[in-house]
Amino acid sequence: MSKHAKEMEGLKEHLGKHQLKFTRQRELILDAFLKQEHITAEEMYHQLARKDPHLGLATIYRTLNLFCEAGLAQARHFGTQTQYDNVSHKGHHDHLICTDCGKIVEFENCDIERLQEEVAARNGFTIQTHRLELYGLCSRCRH
């Protein structure tokens, strides 16, 4: 049995609700995805090339987008590419990004999240997801 049984069940549930099918490729991609903090489609394509040389790039894109709809992943544009963040194993996390060296630090902050809810409620919105990115210089690059 897979190490990611719980998430696998979550995916199957989503598939069932939407008349989608559980395939070998989706299982393979989910397994690889859950080992990552964030990954691009291209990176995953190369990672999985050994396990399944015939796995197509289009399938990876389709599947990562499926994960987003299922709430396991979240797409984020960084540079020219789309990063797919793993949001399945922990609460939502945000990013501190060094504009000089590209270093990424992940963090969570409940107070900020609570204030976000307040702002949304004040404007009649129901939050589904959010994105918070802080850009600046890390301690090393400040000098």
Partner DNA sequence: TTGAAATTGATAAATCGTCTCAAAAAGAAT
Partner DNA sequence: ATTCTTTTTGAGACGATTTATCAATTTCAA
Half-sphere exposure of 49 (CA within 13 A, CB side): 7
Q: Tell me the angle at which helices 57-70 and 41-48 cross, rounded to the nearest 10 degrees.
A: 120
Residue 58 binding its own copies, by CB under 8 A: no
Among 4, 26, 38, 95, binds DNA (CB under 7 A): 26
Among 15, 87, 97, 138, binds DNA (CB under 7 A): 15
Residue 53, judged by CB atoms within 10 A of its CB (0-12, 13-18, 19+), counts as: exposed
Here the tokens at position 64 are: 């990562």
Here the tokens at position 6 are: 């719980």
Residue 115, judged by CB atoms within 10 A of its CB (0-12, 13-18, 19+), counts as: exposed
Question: 39 or 88, CB closer to DNA?
Answer: 39
Among 57, 90, 99, 101, binds its own copies (CB under 8 A): 99
Question: 28 or 138, CB closer to its own copies?
Answer: 138
Is-contact 73 64, C-beta < 8 A? Answer: yes
Q: Mark the segment that binds DNA (CB under 7 A) among 30-38, 54-62, 90-98, 110-118.
A: 54-62
Q: Mark the segment that binds DNA (CB under 7 A) among 50-58, 101-109, 111-119, 125-133.
A: 50-58
Instruction: Indicate which of DNA, its own copies, none lies near residue 59 (CB less than 5 to 8 Å, by partner kind).
Output: DNA
Question: Which residues contact DNA by CB under 7 A?
Answer: 15, 19-26, 40-42, 52, 54-59, 61-63, 65, 77, 80-82
